[in-house]
Amino acid sequence: MDDRTILTLIRHGETPANLEGVWHGSTDTPLTDRGVQQALRVAKHVAERHAEAAALYASDLQRARETARAIAQTLSLPLRLDPALREYDLGAWEGKTYLELHQQHHLWHHMKRDPDYAPHGGESPRQVTQRFTDALRRIATQHPGERVLVVAHGGALAMALGALLDGDFGQWRRVMENCAVTELVIDPAPELLSFNVTEHLLGV
């Protein structure tokens, strides 16, 4: 039996911004109808596979909160909202398309070159990664030997997983799909038990 703390990481359901290919980091966005269905599916999946979960944490942004609420109701777990689990805030670049961020603003180039680069009014990659990994470590420490559910955001999750597992937040190799499930152990050493599981979303 695994006596390590297991973090079950869940990305929020689909949003209009996901469909439009625009960046909503700190922008508070609701789920689409499909996103609501995805949330119900992932709640059922988690209840069937991980009914022993001891706690449920989520970003306080609406899209994560709504996803987590479906899980909370299905598992009868209290929902703990944590602003430290929020998405990467791009400041003045919020609402720009991924294409614009890549081709006009060279965001990923800047991130690679300078981890302290922050768009006007936004966070730097180092700040996001530190904030998010600190939150995951704090949550894991508070629940020794237990399974904890964490509902958060694609960008911040990718950066945290990159930092923990690859020593590099900037590669974006580990991007999760909407309402995908990933299992992570942080101590004694970071380890992925599963990644981007989406079988429960078939047909949605």
Would 165 be classed as within a structural domain? yes
Domain count across the chain:
1
- CATH number of the domain at 133, please: 3.40.50.1240
Domain with 144, as residue range(s), is 6-186
Would 202 be classed as within a structural domain? no
- Provide DSSP, the chain: ---S-EEEEEE----HHHHHTB--SSS--PPPHHHHHHHHHHHHHHHHH-TT--EEEE-SSHHHHHHHHHHHHHHT--EEE-GGGPPP--GGGTT-BHHHHHHTS-HHHHHHH-TT---TTS--HHHHHHHHHHHHHHHHHHSTTSEEEEEE-HHHHHHHHIIIIIS-GGG---PPPTT-EEEEE-SSS-EEEEEEE-GGGTT-
Would 119 be classed as within a structural domain? yes
pLDDT grade for 121, boundaries at 50, 70 and 90: confident
Q: Is the pLDDT of residue 4 over 90?
A: yes
Would 71 be classed as within a structural domain? yes
Q: Is 191 a catalytic residue?
A: no
Would 197 be classed as within a structural domain? no
Would 131 be classed as within a structural domain? yes
Report the percent of the chain where pLDDT is more than 90. Answer: 83
Q: Is 199 a catalytic residue?
A: no
Would 142 be classed as within a structural domain? yes
Active-site entry in 12, 50, 153, 200 = 12
Q: Per-residue pLDDT tens for 6-23?
A: 999 999 999 999 999 999
pLDDT for 128 equals 94
Active-site entry in 14, 24, 50, 87 = 87
Average pLDDT estimate for 152-181: 92
Instruction: Name the pTM for this structure.
Output: 0.95
Q: Per-residue pLDDT tens for 34-45?
A: 999 999 999 999
pLDDT grade for 189, boundaries at 50, 70 and 90: very high
Would 169 be classed as within a structural domain? yes
pLDDT for 188 equals 93
